[in-house]
């Protein structure tokens, strides 16, 4: 009876040590792999929406109806949609939560270039990389240069099966959908 208890105790100890050892081996995914295939545009015009917290209003023009937002060091200019009711109450320097619409273009780049018009190589400045693709749930996860990752639910027309980790992403701002000032 006593040896059975010792065997179970030793087995539990061994299992615990093994679990701790394996947990120490895990590392977060990184999108710095070189994708396979020739340089090309996989797909453009992929519309996504996201909510950005802790965004700083860099500048705002009520007359021309545009706003420049700073997202962790990257800036983008948006035209507010008609549904943004409090646009005229926002001031430069305000911290806001912004819901934005953006358009993605996914590329396989070789040395920062893809074929342009007429097949001539064209330099492309990527804003992010594809980190993960989940076709079953229609999820596309991007990783930005600052290490942050963001996951988007994409439509049925998006060619997820042609995308893989390391593909380059160009993000183009489209529209500001909602804006909420974060008060201290």
CB 135 within 8 A of CB 129: no
- The answer to whether residue 5 is domain-embedded is no
87-129: per-residue pLDDT in tens?
888 999 999 999 999 999 999 999 899 988 888 889 999 999 9
- The answer to whether residue 17 is domain-embedded is no
Domain count, the chain: 1
Poorest-pLDDT segment among 9-18, 19-28, 174-183: 19-28
Residues spanned by the domain of 77:
28-181
Poorest-pLDDT segment among 16-25, 85-94, 129-138: 16-25
- The answer to whether residue 88 is domain-embedded is yes
Of all helices (H) and strands (E), which one includes residue 16?
helix 2-23
Q: Which residue has the higher pLDDT, 183 or 17?
A: 183
Q: How confident is the model at residue 15 (pLDDT cuts 50, 70, 90)?
A: low
- The answer to whether residue 122 is domain-embedded is yes
- The answer to whether residue 21 is domain-embedded is no
Res 11: pLDDT? 63
How far apart CA 119 and CA 142 sit, in angstroms, is: 27
- The answer to whether residue 20 is domain-embedded is no
- The answer to whether residue 15 is domain-embedded is no
- The answer to whether residue 19 is domain-embedded is no
The owner of tokens 């160009």 is 170
Q: Which residue has the higher pLDDT, 23 or 85?
A: 85
**First-residue to last-residue Cα distance in the chain:** 64
How far apart CA 64 and CA 90 sit, in angstroms, is: 14
Q: What is the mean pLDDT of the chain?
A: 86
Instruction: Quickly count: other Cβ atoms within 10 Å of residue 151's Cβ.
Output: 15
How far apart CA 84 and CA 176 sit, in angstroms, is: 8
Q: How confident is the model at residue 27 (pLDDT cuts 50, 70, 90)?
A: low
For the cut 70, the answer to whether the pLDDT of residue 21 exceeds it is no
Of all helices (H) and strands (E), which one includes residue 8?
helix 2-23
CB 68 within 8 A of CB 180: no
Token pair recorded at residue 119: 């097949």
Q: How confident is the model at residue 23 (pLDDT cuts 50, 70, 90)?
A: low
């Amino acid at each position: 009876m006593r040896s059975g208890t010792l065997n179970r105790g030793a087995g539990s100890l061994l299992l615990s040590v093994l679990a701790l050892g394996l947990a120490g081996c895990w590392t977060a995914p990184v999108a710095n792999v070189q994708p396979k295939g020739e340089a090309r545009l996989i797909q453009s015009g992929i519309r996504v929406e996201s909510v950005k917290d802790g965004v700083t209003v860099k500048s705002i023009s009520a007359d021309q109806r545009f706003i420049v937002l700073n997202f962790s060091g990257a800036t983008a200019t948006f035209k507010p949609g008609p549904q943004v009711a409090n646009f005229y109450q926002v001031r430069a320097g305000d911290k806001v939560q912004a819901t934005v619409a953006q358009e993605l273009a996914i590329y396989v780049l070789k040395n920062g270039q893809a074929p342009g018009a007429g097949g001539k190589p064209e330099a492309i400045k990527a804003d992010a990389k594809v980190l993960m693709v989940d076709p079953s749930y229609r999820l596309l996860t991007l990783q930005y240069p600052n290490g942050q990752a963001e996951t988007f639910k994409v439509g049925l027309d998006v060619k997820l099966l042609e995308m893989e980790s390391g593909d380059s992403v160009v993000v183009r701002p489209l529209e500001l959908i909602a804006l909420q000032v974060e008060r201290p």
